[in-house]
Structure 1
Amino acid sequence: MKNPFGGLGGLGDMAKMMSAARDMQGKVEEFQKSLEAISVTGEAGAGLVRVTATAKGDLTAIEIDPSIFVPSEKQVVEDLILAAIKDAQARATERAQSEAQRLAQEMGLPPGMKLPV
């Protein structure tokens, strides 16, 4: 009976696939590290509160305009801080997805294929 795999030719293809998978894994790891170097800024109250985060969503800084430090406005300040954090997180997610799409295109992956972010 003849070998349905055509000799050892299939092993060479398998080695190529494994090599391609390792290359892709390396690119995805580089991509995930690059998200840590990208900064996005979310804001609330027309810039009275600004929050900076990495594209991975890690918060790195918060800036609050001193004009909003009025004791009677405590709830407003807290709401603005929360809104700025949510804005920064949404921008981080958006940026990470944009970078993932760019990388997927560079790697020749089909449109819509998701990379882990």
Structure 2
Amino acid sequence: MAKGFNMGGMNRNQMMAQARKMQEQLIAAQQKAAETEVTASAGGGAVKVTATGDMRLTSLAIAPDALDPEDVEMLQDMILAAVNDALESAERMASQQMSAVTGGLNIPGLF
């Protein structure tokens, strides 16, 4: 009769310890992603946006020569393009950091 829970030579305590270690690594990766910034620009650098891995914008810079009262739509388009690029880059960066911990395993709700 088998004692306790045994899976592939690993007992329950070993599995719990491994799960705790992975959880600690995931938290560290999330914190690192939240602190890491990525920058994107549009309009040849007329608009620059910086975001963190937790999808927060930390900076928006608009060059003075991008301010044309006759063409507000172009400035709006540049801002949207730069924000979307920054957020996509931040998401990619965060996913890469999380994949390094999970070994590429997709765990819903992490990023």
Give TM-score scaled by structure 2 length: 0.85
Quick one: distance in 2 between partners of 1:62 and 1:56? 16
- Paired AA for residue 40 in structure 1: V
Give TM-score scaled by structure 1 length: 0.81
Aligned residues: 106
Quick one: distance in 2 between partners of 1:52 and 1:84? 9
- Structure 1: gaps of 5 or more residues: none
Quick one: distance in 1 between partners of 2:11 and 2:100? 27
Residue in 2 that maps onto 1:46: 44
Structure with bigger strand share is 2
Describe how 1:23-102 pairs up with structure 2 within 5 A: 23-102=21-100
RMSD: 1.7
| Residues 7-38 of structure 1, C-alpha deviations (whole Å, 9 max, x = no match) | 3574x810110111111111101111111110
Change beyond 3 A, Cα 1:53–1:9: closer
- Paired AA for residue 80 in structure 2: L
- Say if 1:40 and 1:52, in contact at 8 Å, map to a contact too: yes
Structure with bigger helix share is 1
SS state at 1:72 partner: coil
SS state at 2:44 partner: coil
- Say if 2:50 and 2:57, in contact at 8 Å, map to a contact too: yes
Identity %: 30
Quick one: distance in 2 between partners of 1:28 and 1:9? 26
Question: How far did residue 39 of structure 1 move?
Answer: 0.4
Question: How far did residue 42 of structure 1 move?
Answer: 1.3
